[in-house]
Amino acid sequence: MPIIDIHIHIQPLEMFKPSARALMQHGRRDYETVVKYSSDPRAFLQFLDQADIERAGLINYVSPDVIGFTPGVNDWIANYCKTDPSRLLAFGSVHPYYVTDAGAEVDRLASLGIRGLKVHPSHQLFAPNAYRDGNLGSLAAMYERAQAHQMPVMIHTGTSVFPGARNLYAQPMLADDVAVDYPNLVIILAHGGRPLWMNEAFFLVRRHPNMYLDISGIPPQKLLEYFPRIEDIADKVLFGTDWPGPGVPGIRGNIEKFRALPISGAAQQKILYDNSARIFPSR
Ligand SMILES: [Zn+2]
């Protein structure tokens, strides 16, 4: 059965701040392979083959203040994914503080082949609903154009341990406004709010027809503890690993542990492949 891992970090590693890079490297004996895959999409595609992964969402976002990523990440990942756009799904981002015309930037990213946008509130230092007080119109413009392009927006939810991350912005409930104001926008709550706010994520996914969650960054052995009623939302859950993020040793191991869970075969099929294939149709 083919698998889509919708949440992998292939990034321009040279942009990392030293403190962020140290956290990425900590306890990771295979960091050299991460370096290799980040510069060699063909080698990375072979790595996906070995893990039986047909397609991968490659997550990038602009975070000059906390991680070090400049707006250049968008062109970098768009270029990387040109090697095989049918298998490598580029995610970019528009940081409202670092762009003059957010709507035009979304248009530009769409023309580059970017398939989704990432919002990382705790690394970008704004709440996902910060446009509500009228002061961050560029954030509203970003959602507006993403909705017009049918470009899904993935919003990080759940804690982050990177130095400088502000977890106040990481609550899933802050994304409720976005779903209310942009009802046709596909929103993916990355990490389902783990490990503190799973109930919020579960509620929102059930409330909003176009809201999904990904299970990346959740140790598979914890998944049913975190989401005991996951089968109720099996149409709205996307498989992802967050590899090579902190605490995610490998992709294959995650898949094997996920498959071993007492989740029905039909629900596993939806989570591992069908839901992401529907949201990100082949081009
Ligand atoms: Zn991630």
Give 27's pLDDT tier (boundaries 50, 70, 90). Answer: confident
Q: How far is the CA of 54 from the centre of ligand 1 (A)?
A: 19
Fold classification of 3-279 (topology level): TIM Barrel (3.20.20)
Q: How far is the CA of 114 from the centre of ligand 1 (A)?
A: 17
pLDDT surpasses 90 at 245: no
Closest of 265, 269, 211, 201 to residue 236, by C-alpha: 211
Confidence (pTM): 0.97
Q: How far is the CA of 140 from the centre of ligand 1 (A)?
A: 23
Q: What is the spatial distance between Cα 49 and Cα 30, in angstroms, rounded to a whole number?
A: 18
Secondary structure (DSSP) of 182-215: -TTS-EEEEGGGTTT-HHHHHHHHHH-TTEEEE-
**Chain CA centroid to CA 200, Å:** 18
Residue range 75-98, pLDDT digits in tens = 999 999 999 999 999 999 999 999
Mean predicted confidence (pLDDT) in 63-68: 95
Question: Is residue 31 within 8 Å of residue 25, measured between CB atoms?
Answer: yes
Q: How far is the CA of 235 from the centre of ligand 1 (A)?
A: 21
Question: Is residue 170 within 8 Å of residue 135, measured between CB atoms?
Answer: no
Q: How far is the CA of 187 from the centre of ligand 1 (A)?
A: 15
Cα–Cα distance list, 147 to 141, 186, 210 (Å): 10, 8, 11
Residues whose CB falls within 8 Å of the CB of residue 153, separated by 6 or more in sequence, listed in order: 116, 117, 118, 119, 143, 146, 178, 185, 186, 187, 188
Q: How far is the CA of 148 from the centre of ligand 1 (A)?
A: 25
Cβ burial, residue 195 (10 Å; 0-12/13-18/19+): middle
Q: How far is the CA of 157 from the centre of ligand 1 (A)?
A: 10
Q: How far is the CA of 141 from the centre of ligand 1 (A)?
A: 24
Residue range 157-184, pLDDT digits in tens = 999 999 999 999 999 999 999 999 999 9
